Chain A
Amino acid sequence: MPTKHEVTAAGAGTGIVAVSDLEVHYGLRGGGLARLFGRDSGTVKAVDGVNFVLHRGEVLGLVGESGSGKTTLGRALLGLAPATQGSITYHEPGDGGSAYERVVSEMSGAELRKLRTDLQMVFQDPHAALNPSMTIETAVGHPLRIHGIAKGEELRKRVASALERVGLAPAEQFMAKYPSDLSGGQKQRAVIARAIIMDPEVLVADEPVSMLDMSVRAKILQLMLDLKNDLGLTYVYITHDLASAKFFCDRIAIMYLGRIVEIGPTEEIFADPKHPYTKALLKAIPEPDPQKMVPRDLPRGEIPDAARPPLGCSFHPRCPVAVAECGWESRDLRALLEEHWIRQEPSVYEAERELVGDLDKLDEAAKTVTVGTVANAAKLRAMLEGIRSENPTEPLWTGVDSLEETAEGLEIRFHQGFDPLLRPSGGVEVACVLYPTPVTTEPALPE
């Protein structure tokens, strides 16, 4: 398969990087026994079916909590994380309006190194991104040396000009220094200088300001905006901070557990957030205004384990507006019971805990689950009905089809759910069963 072939000029207009059905899955290594018996120890779906096109000259924000896969996606763009499925295509601008199309996900090491003359990365932690035993001159000039582009006086000149471009002027003052001599903001400027010295097309910036003090953040963002205008750069800005994304990005993709759940122009996302997760994120940002309080109706819980994602929509266990089709399952019942027990007197908890029996039964994802024993099925049912009547608006109950006393205990059946795909809605795309018609059904469970 050729990794480099010419495409028409029209093709180049579609974007500079196209990501299609990208998956980055990591196999989990189980213990020795598990491997001996060939037991599958599972995979972590860090990036799980992502599609987007990065347009030339734009700033695309990848926003999400830790564990959402935003960093893995950013690294995959540079070939630093291996794609297990799907493709990343880089449209290299060629001479006379033509362009080369190169599939990042199929490149060999040498080709990847060449790719990085065009795609560069700015890392989150400037203290860790610079080698402590290299002077700033060596560190910033390193890419030029690696690629054999410049040496000697020419190298020195280019390093000096890159340093001055990022505001580390006069450059002579910084070239002989070591990273430990610089402040956090200055180090981040040096990291940016190293990224732009190759004259790249695309810069992937992974949380470039989150390790810096408030008074410095704005300076670094301003520098990045200036560089973008002067050098015609395209940015992928990875962050967990919606406030800086709002200011910095043209388009925003909100990520949750390896997927993009909402993507669109920044103004539209902020003016009319559609996905319940986006809405929650917007509400939760602490604003420097004492008149406002953190709302009490925030999603419960935390981002789930990517090795054991929820069935249906990954956000449904935390979603305040979830409906029957969102993919309810046994683990949600366990969470509901535990939450209920937080509010109970110890004696009530002990009695109810006894009734339910083995909680670990609920730990495997299942659409039908039996709890308790034949003897106490009726009591258990009454208990669940009681919990339901305490809070009838709890979304989980919409997803419970039936509670039935069987020969083994109380059988709970959950409603068939959907795994929503990204679909256009208004000016954005959103993956939520509440927006247009859901099409895919969740995958069948292995027996």
Chain B
Amino acid sequence: MTELYDGPDAMRPGSDLVIDAQDLRVWYGSERGPVKAVDRVSFELRKGEILGLVGESGCGKSTLGRGLLGLLPEGAKMDGHLRFKGEDLLALPKKEMFAKRGTELGMIFQEPLTRLNPLMRISEHFEETLKTHERGISKAEVERRSLEVLRVMGIPPTRYRSYPHEFSGGMRQRLMIALALVLRPAFVVADEPTTALDVLVEAQIIRILHDLRREFDTSLLLITHNLGIIAEACDRVAVMYAGEIVEIGDARDVFSAPQHPYTRELLRSTISLSTTGLNFIPGAPPNLVAPPSGCHFHPRCPDAMNVCAARHPVERTHPNGTRAQCWAADLRDGMASDLTSEETASLPREEISVADEA
């Protein structure tokens, strides 16, 4: 890809944009046709910023995270524009992409026990990581750098030569984070890093992720289904539904004034300490082979209008700076004056039986 790309900020000198994704698409082949796991997703990530990616299972958030690192399985296709510090990642030869992973692009996985080699000491894990990516590094330097990152993660130096099974679950997750960060990548994807952990340990890990930028200057894409974690750790949040980012903005703005009805309903259905009644979203997330026409959320949306079933909404920036794809939000903020009264009439709601529910 040699065409000149004029996306926001990316080409401007001195830009602090680490990741610039525009119109990214990822699809898989399946028996029933292509599965559009990620469908025209655009977002930017600045230096030291934490972006939360939230959505239900099957919305494409993990696929997007892996796609950014070039870790898609065989048979998956990806297109669009993806720039890392201004460099086009999708145009990179496989070999160069391979060299970037680890040193520039890091990943923190969900299950630390399956990612650590039970026969290797922690010190050996670090040696392998550092020696693979930095040929000729001295043993003393390996130890110095490993102990330093372990210290930041709160793992005592006495444990440097222990085996993975000698650590508790939370410690193992800290080890995974340490192994990803010892190479000081500029961008890290953390896919559900606290899912298998207990509340107190989860809080410790969230704290560590939140403090990462201070120690490592890392930009982080934090993938989770837990809105509470997003609220605690992230600067900005992107809400995914059926392969699309339906709303993206400052975490505070999105949580206090969600623009998209899906965000609003997801927040309402989250059971928190302040929950006084049970709310839920009727229906189930759509099948990504043949998603609903127009806005993919319209069959479940309490605010749906006729236009929602007919035309796909355009992403617009709302007064509080949040970007969302929603006709109802556009109409409310006076950005959809071209819609006819027929189009803005509320959509007759099809009865959703429990049978079709998740």
**Does B354 touch A at the CB level, under 8 Å?**
yes
Instruction: Please list 9 pairs of residues, one from A and one from B, whose beta carbons are closer than 8 Å in the complex, sorted by A's number.
Output: A183-B357, A189-B354, A214-B226, A215-B281, A216-B357, A241-B199, A270-B273, A288-B230, A299-B200
- 6 interchain residue pairs of minimum CB distance: A286-B228, A338-B156, A65-B198, A167-B354, A284-B203, A288-B227
* Residues A293 and B269 in contact, CB atoms below 8 Å apart: no
Of the candidates A240, A290, A301, A353, the one whose C-beta lies within 8 Å of that of B158 is A353
A247-B275 in contact (CB<8A): yes
Q: Does A222 contact B (CB under 8 A)?
A: yes
Given A215-B56, A242-B273, A343-B151, 8 new contacts (CB under 8 A): A174-B355, A186-B355, A189-B354, A215-B281, A219-B358, A294-B206, A339-B156, A346-B144
Return the contact of B227 from the options A174, A214, A298 (Cβ within 8 A).
A214
Separation of A296 and B272 alpha carbons in the complex (Å): 20
Q: How many residues of B contact A (CB 8 A)?
A: 59
| Chain A positions within 8 Å of B228 at CB level | 285-288
Interface residues of A in 181-198 (CB under 8 A from B): 183-186, 189
Q: How far is the CA of A185 from the CA of B57 in the complex (A)?
A: 12
Within 8 A of B (CB), among A155-188: 167-170, 173-174, 183-186
B306-346 CB mask vs A (1 if < 8 Å, else 0) is 00000000000000000000000000000000000000000
Least CB separation from A183: chain B residue: B358
Q: In the complex, how many angstroms separate the beta carbon of B150 from the nearest chain A beta carbon? A: 8
Of listed A215, A284, A285, A302, residue having the most chain B CB within 10 A: A215
Q: Are A286 and B203 in contact, CB atoms less than 8 angstroms apart?
A: yes
B198 contacts which chain A residues (CB < 8 A)? Answer: 65-66, 240, 302-303
Chain A's closest residue to B150 (CB) is A342
Complex interface residues of chain B between 194 and 216 (CB less than 8 A to chain A): 198-204, 206-207, 210
Shortest Cβ distance from residue B234 to the other chain A in the assembled complex, whole angstroms: 8
Inter-chain CA distance A270–B276, complex, in Å, is 14
Q: Please indicate the chain B residues that have their CB under 8 angstroms from the CB of A346 in the complex.
A: 144, 147, 157
Which single member of B202, B255, B357 contacts A288 (CB below 8 Å)?
Answer: B255
Q: Is A26 an interface residue (CB 8 A)?
A: no
Q: Say yes or no: B355 contacts A219, CB within 8 Å.
A: no
Residue of A nearest to B58 (CB): A213
| B155 on interface, CB distance cutoff 8 Å | yes
Cβ contact within 8 Å between B271 and A349: no
**Minimal beta-carbon separation of A111 from chain B (angstroms):** 36
Interface positions, chain A 259-303, Cβ under 8 Å from B, are 270, 280-282, 284-296, 298-299, 301-303
B279 interface residue (CB < 8 Å to A):
yes
Docked-complex contact A169 and B354, CB < 8 angstroms: yes
- For residue A341, CB closer than 8 A to chain B, the reply is yes
CA distance A170 to B231 in the complex (A): 40
A343 to B144, CA, bound (A): 14
A residues neighboring B (CB under 8 Å) = 65-66, 167-170, 173-174, 183-186, 189, 212-219, 221-222, 225, 240-244, 246-247, 270, 280-282, 284-296, 298-299, 301-303, 338-339, 341-343, 346, 349, 353, 359
Q: How far is the CB of A196 from chain B (nearest CB, A)?
A: 16
Complex contact A169–B355 (CB within 8 A): yes
Chain B residues at the A interface, C-beta cutoff of 8 Å: 56-57, 144, 147, 151, 154-159, 168-171, 198-204, 206-207, 210, 225-232, 234, 251-252, 255-256, 265-267, 269-276, 278-281, 284, 353-355, 357-358
With a cutoff of 8 Å between Cβ atoms, the chain A residues found around residue B169 in the complex are: 66, 302
A296 contacts across to B, CB distance below 8 A: 207
Residue of A nearest to B148 (CB): A346
Interface centre among B151, B228, B271 (most CB of A within 10 A): B271
B232 touches A247 (CB 8 A): no
Q: With the chains together, A169 CA to B251 CA distance in Å? A: 39
Q: Which residues of chain A come closer than 8 Å to B230, judged between CB atoms?
A: 288
Q: Give Cα A359–Cα B154 distance, bound, in whole angstroms.
A: 19
* CA A302 to CA B174, docked complex, whole Å: 13
Nearest opposing residue in chain B for A185, CB measure: B358
Query: With a CB–CB cut-off of 8 A, which chain B residues contact A244?
Result: 271
Partner of A359, one of B158, B256, B279, B284: B158
- A294 CA to B231 CA, complexed, in Å: 10
* B232 near A302: Cβ-Cβ < 8 Å: no
Using Cβ atoms and an 8 Å threshold, which residues of chain B touch A216? 280, 357-358
Q: Report A198 CB to chain B, min CB distance, Å.
A: 22
Cβ contacts under 8 Å, A291 to chain B: 252
Check A292 against B156 for contact (C-beta < 8 Å).
no
Contact of B56 among A173, A186, A214, A292 (CB under 8 A): A214
* Interface-centre pick from B156, B256, B269, B353 (highest chain A CB count, 10 A): B156
Q: Are A284 and B271 in contact (CB under 8 A)?
A: no
Contact at B232–A286, with CB atoms within 8 Å?
yes
Nearest Cβ distance between residue B197 and chain A, in whole angstroms? 9
Cβ–Cβ contact A218 & B355, under 8 A: no
Flag if B271 contacts A217 (CB, 8 Å): yes
A213–B229 Cα gap in the complex (Å)? 15
Selected from A174, A288, A298, A343, the residue in CB contact (under 8 A) with B203 is A298
- The answer on a CB contact under 8 Å between B158 and A341 is yes
Please, which residues of chain B bring their CB within 8 A of the CB of A240? 198-199
A292 and B231 in contact, given A214-B269, A214-B270, A342-B155 (Cβ under 8 angstroms)? yes
In the complex formed, the residue of B with least CB distance to A349 is: B157
Contacts of B281 on A, CB cut-off 8 Å?
215
Which of A189, A225, A286, A296 is packed against the most chain B CB atoms within 10 Å? A286
In the bound complex, residues from chain B placing their C-beta under 8 Å from that of A169 are: 353-355
Residues of B within 8 A of A184 (CB): 57, 358
Q: Shortest distance in angstroms between A346's beta carbon and chain B's nearest beta carbon?
A: 6
The contact of B269 among A170, A185, A217, by CB within 8 Å, is A217
- Do A342 and B156 touch (CB < 8 A)? yes
B200 touches A284 (CB 8 A): yes
Chain A residues with Cβ below 8 Å from B255 are 288-290
Instruction: Write the chain A residue with the least CB distance to B59.
Output: A213
Bound Cα distance from A270 to B281, whole angstroms: 28
